[in-house]
Chain A
Amino acid sequence: MSERSVRAFRFPRIPAVPLAIGIGILIGGLLVLASGGDPIAAYREILIGALAPQNWPNTLNWAVPLVGMTLVAALPLRGGMVNLGGDGQLVIGGLVAALAALYLPLPGPLLIAASILCAMVASGLYASLAAWGETRFGIPMLISTLLLSYPVIGIASYLVGFPLRDMATGLAQTRMIPDAARLPVISGPLNIGLILMIVVAAAVVFYDRRTVGGYELRMRGLNAKFAGYGGVRLAAQQVRVMFASGAIAGLVGAILVLGSLYRYQDGALLTPGYTWSGLMAALLAGGAPLGAIAAGLFFAGLQTGGFAMQRETAIPRVLTMILQSVIILFLAIRHGVGRKSS
C-alpha cells in the first residue's frame, strides 16, 4: 500500500478558460513552427485582423450571425435541451426573408419588418415541430432537430435551383431583393442587423436573469424532474423555448439575406458554419447566455483574424480552426476530470 499511497499530483489552479486558450496557442504555434512558418507573425496577424480598429466592422459583421447562432443553441441548452437544427432553421429564415422581400407588396421599412417577422415565425414554427414531436410522440429532439434540417435544406436548394431561380445568372439563387428591403447600413459592411442582434442578446440575458420563464428554464436545466414536480409545464415550455430558439435562427437568416447577400443563394448561409461554431460556444458556456455570447465573440474574432492571417502570411486559416478545436478539447478534458474527482 505504501508505494501506492503517494499523494496525487495536482495541477496548480489556473482557471480553465485561460489555460485552455494558452495550451491552444502553444500547440497551434508548434504546428506553425513544424510546417516552417513563423508563429509570432501568424498570431500577430490574427490579433491585428480581429482587433485592430480598422478591422472592427469586419469582426463585428462576422460576429452578428455567429453570436446569433450561439444564442440559438444556448437558449434550449439552458434548459438541458439540444437544438442541432440551426442549419435548417437558418435556411428557412433566409429563404422566407428573401421571398417576402421579393413578393410582398409593402413599402420600405414595413417590408423589412414584415420580411424579418415572416422569417422568424417560419423558423420558430419549424423548430417547435421538433419539440412537439418529443413531447407528443417521444421522438428525441437531439435526433429530430438534426434530421429535420436536411429536407428543408434540400427543398430550399431545389426552389432556388428551379422554380425561383434568377435566370440572369447561372447560379442557384433568387433574384436580388429590392433596395427598399435591404437593411440600412451603419458603416462599411455593418448594418442594423448588428443592433437587432444586440437587442436580442440583451433580451436573452434579461429573460434568463429576471423573468419567471428564465427561472423555470434554468431550473429545468439543473433538474428537469424538480421543475416538473414544482409545477413547471415542461411540454409547453419545451415548445415555447424551441420556438424562440428557431426564431432567432430565422432572424440570423433574415439579417444575412437582407443585410449582406441581398438574395437567397444556395449554400451561402451554411458554408461559414455559424451553426456549429455557435453550438460550440454555447456548449463551452454550458448554456449560460453571457458566457455563451463571450465565447461566440471570441470565436468570431479568431475566425476573422484567421482570414487576415491567410491574406498576410502563407499560413492557411485552418490554423484558427485548429486553435478553436484544441481549446474546446482541453476545456472538455478539464470538465471531465473535474467532475470525476469531485
Chain B
Amino acid sequence: MSTIELEATGIVKRYGPLVANDQIDLSVLRGEVHAVMGENGAGKSTLMSILYGMQTPDAGRIVLRGTEMHYRSALDAIGAGMGMVHQAFKLFNSLTVWENVVYGMEPTRFGFIDRREAAKRVAALAERYSLRVDPNAIVGQLSVGVRQRVEILKALYRDARVLILDEPTAVLTPQERDGLFDIIRNLTADDRTILFVTHKLHEVMAITDRVTVLRDGKVVDRMVTSETSAREIIRAMTGRAVNLTVEKSPGNPGAVVLEARGLTVATDGGKPVVDHVDLSIRAGEIVGIAGVAGNGQTELIEALTGLRIPDGGTVSIHGTDVTALDVERHRDAGLAYIPEDRATTGTALAASAADNLAMGFQRKPPLSNGRLLDGNAVTAHAKRLIEKFGVKIGSEQLAVGTLSGGNLQKVVVARELSHAAPLLIAEQPTRGVDVGAIEFIHGQLVAERDRGSAVLLVSAELTEILALSDRVLVMFDGRILAELPAAEADEETLGLLMAGRVRDAHLDGTEAA
C-alpha cells in the first residue's frame, strides 16, 4: 500500500483564458481507492482525461509505475495499463458482452475470431472479480448496473492496473451501488488502483482510502478518508459549510396543473414503454417519480412535454388539452422543462451562452418583437441569468460546450426557471452535478414550489427524491407501481419498489398497482 502507482506533477491545462488545471499534483498509491472530488468546473474531468490520454496537458509530468508517460491518445494510456469507465457507457448495445469486452483485442485462431476462447476468457475474468455477467448476453438487454460491469470487464481485459471510475454510481440503484462497492474491494485486493470521481460524500466516506479535493483548477486539500469527515470535505470543496438536507416547509397543494389520463407510449410490436399512466400534479407541490433509468420515465416525460405524441391517453396543462400539440404550445400552456440530458437536449453546445439562454424567449418581448431579435436584450438577459445563477463562464458570448457538467446544468436551470411557468418538469436535475450546485438547484426547485408552481421531479437519485418530494411515485416497467406520501417513503422501500419487488416492500396502507 505504500508504493506510488500513479503520480502527476504540475499539470496545467488551459482552454483559452480559462485555466482548467492549474499546477495540479496528484499522487495515488498502489491498491488504494483514491477519490477525486470537487465542484463542477473544479477541473476533475479535465484531469481525468489527461491521465487517460484523451487530452494533452500544456505542462506537467505523468509518471506511471516509475516511468514518465507522454500519451498521444487514450490508446497509449490503455497500453500502459490505464482504464476508464465513463459516465456515459461506450458499448455496442447490439453486441454480446464478450464481443464488447474483446473488441479491438480479439483472440484469434487461423485469423478468425476464436469465439469460444474469447467467451471463456471473459467468463474467467468475470469469475475472478465476482462480476456477475453472462458473457453471451446482448448488452442492450442488460440493466445499467450490469452494463457498468461490462465496462469494468473491458478495462480489466486490457489489464488495467489503474481504473478511473467517473461518477460510477449516478445511474445505479442503492442495491447496484453496493454491488459495485464489492467489486471495487475485489479489485483493490488484487492490487489494482481505483481513481473514484464522484460528488457523493457518503460514497467517498464508504469506499475510499484517500481524497484529493480540487477547487478552481487547483488542489486545495489532500485527506485520509478515515481521518476526515464529510463536512470537512465539503468545506474544502466549496470553501464554505454546505447544508446537506433541503430545508422546506410542507407543501401546500392547490389546483391541478398537470393531468395525464391513461397515457401510453407504444413501441413497434413490443409492450408499451409507458403503460396507461395516470397522474396529476397540483400547484405548490413537488411530486417525485423514482425509478431506475430505463423504466419508461424518459418516454413518459417526452409524452408529457410534447416531444412525442402519445399513442393513447390525454395530457392537459392548466385545463388545456395539449395531448397532440407541439412543444411550443405546451410551453404556451405553461410548461418549463429541465431535460434529462443537458448536452444533447438542453443546450446547443456549439452555441454561445447568450443564444442558449435565449431559447424559448426569442419570440417574446423584451428579447424580440416577434420578428427581430434585440441583440442587446439577448445579451442583457444572458448576463442577468449568468449572474443570478452563478454560472462560471468568461463571457456570455462563449460557447457552452466547454463548461463543466454543473455549470452547463445551471445554464439549463437558469433558463427554464426564468420562465416562471406554472408547471416545471425537472428530469434528473442534478445528475453529475457537484454538492454546491445540487444544493443550489434543490433550493431553486423548492422556491419554485413555494412560488405556487407545480413541480414534477424525475430522478434516479433516491436522496434527491426523498429530500424534495411531497409525494413519491415509483415507476417500474412503464407503469406507476406505487404512490407514497413523502413521510412513508424511505430509501429501502423505494429501492425495493424500483426493483419491481412490491411484495418485499411491505407497503401498508398505500396503494400499489
Q: How far is the CA of A212 from the CA of B358 in the complex (A)?
A: 10
**CB interface residues, A 1-29, toward B, < 8 Å:** 1-2, 4-8
Q: Are B307 and A5 in contact (CB under 8 A)?
A: no
Chain A neighbourhood of B370, CB < 8 A: 212
A5 close to B69 (CB less than 8 A): yes
Closest CB of chain B to A298's CB: distance in Å? 25
**Chain B 339-373 near chain A by CB (<8 Å), digits 1 or 0:** 10000111111110001001110110000101111
Closest to A1 in B: B80
Question: Residues of A contacting B350 with CB < 8 Å?
Answer: 222-223
B348 nearest CB across to chain A (Å): 4
Q: Is the CB of B359 within 8 A of A1?
A: no
Question: How far apart are B414's CB and chain A's nearest CB, in angstroms?
Answer: 14
Within 8 Å by CB of A228, from B68, B70, B327, lies B327
User: Do B72 and A210 touch across chains, with their CB atoms under 8 A apart?
Assistant: no
B226 on the A face (CB < 8 A): no
Pick from A116-124, A167-175, A195-203, A213-221 the stretch touching chain B: A213-221
Known contacts A1-B80, A6-B70: does B362 contact A223 (CB below 8 Å)?
Answer: no
* A219 CA / B70 CA spacing, docked (Å): 39
B368 partner, pick from A2, A212, A225, A227, beta carbons under 8 A: A212
> Is B3 positioned at the interface, with any CB of A under 8 Å from its CB?
no
In the complex, what distance in Å separates the CA atom of A232 from the CA atom of B346? 13
Interface size class of A (residues with CB under 8 A): 20 to 34
Q: Does B337 lie within 8 Å of A5, measured CB to CB?
A: no
Judged by a CB distance under 8 angstroms, whether A230 is at the interface is yes
A210 and B80 alpha carbons, distance in the complex (Å): 52
Residues in A with CB closer than 8 Å to B327 are: 228-231
Give the shortest distance, in Å, between B125 (CB) and chain A (any CB): 24
A233 at the interface (CB under 8 A from B): yes
The residue from B68, B346, B349, B371 contacting A229, defined by CB atoms under 8 A apart: B346
Interface string of A178-220 (1 = CB under 8 A from B): 0000000000000000000000000000000011111110110
CB distance from A215 to the nearest CB of B (A): 5
CA distance A212 to B372 in the complex (A): 5
- Within the complex, which residue of B69, B339, B373 is in contact with A210, where a contact is CB–CB below 8 Å? B373
B363, A5: Cβ atoms under 8 Å?
A: no
Contact call A219/B351, Cβ cutoff below 8 A: yes
Instruction: Assess whether B307 is in contact with A231, with CB atoms less than 8 Å apart.
Output: no
Chain A residues near B371 (CB, 8 Å)? 211-213
Contact across chains for B76 and A229 when beta carbons are under 8 A apart: no
From the candidates B56, B328, B373, name the one contacting A212 in the complex (CB within 8 A).
Answer: B373
CB–CB A4/B362 < 8 A: no
Q: Give every chain B residue within 8 A of A6 (Cβ-Cβ).
A: 70
Within the complex, the shortest CB–CB distance from B53 to chain A, in Å, comes to 10
Closest to B332 in A: A231
Decide if A226 is an interface residue (CB 8 Å cutoff).
Answer: yes
Across-interface contacts of B67 in A (CB, < 8 A): 1-2
CA distance A227 to B331 in the complex (A): 13
Q: Please give, as numbers and ranges, the residues of chain A lying within 8 Å of B330 by CB-CB distance.
A: 231
Q: How far is the CB of B159 from chain A (nearest CB, A)?
A: 14
Given A212-B370, A231-B360: A8 in contact with B72 (beta carbons within 8 A): yes
User: Which 3 A-B pairs rank lowest in CB-CB distance, beginning with the nearest?
Assistant: A230-B359, A231-B328, A5-B70
* 21 A-B pairs whose Cβ atoms sit less than 8 Å apart in the complex: A1-B69, A210-B372, A211-B372, A211-B373, A212-B363, A212-B368, A212-B373, A215-B373, A216-B362, A222-B349, A222-B350, A223-B349, A225-B345, A226-B347, A228-B307, A228-B327, A229-B305, A229-B339, A230-B327, A231-B326, A233-B328
14 extra A-B contacts, CB within 8 A, seeds A210-B373, A212-B371: A1-B79, A8-B72, A218-B355, A219-B351, A222-B351, A223-B349, A226-B347, A227-B348, A229-B307, A229-B346, A230-B327, A230-B359, A230-B360, A231-B359
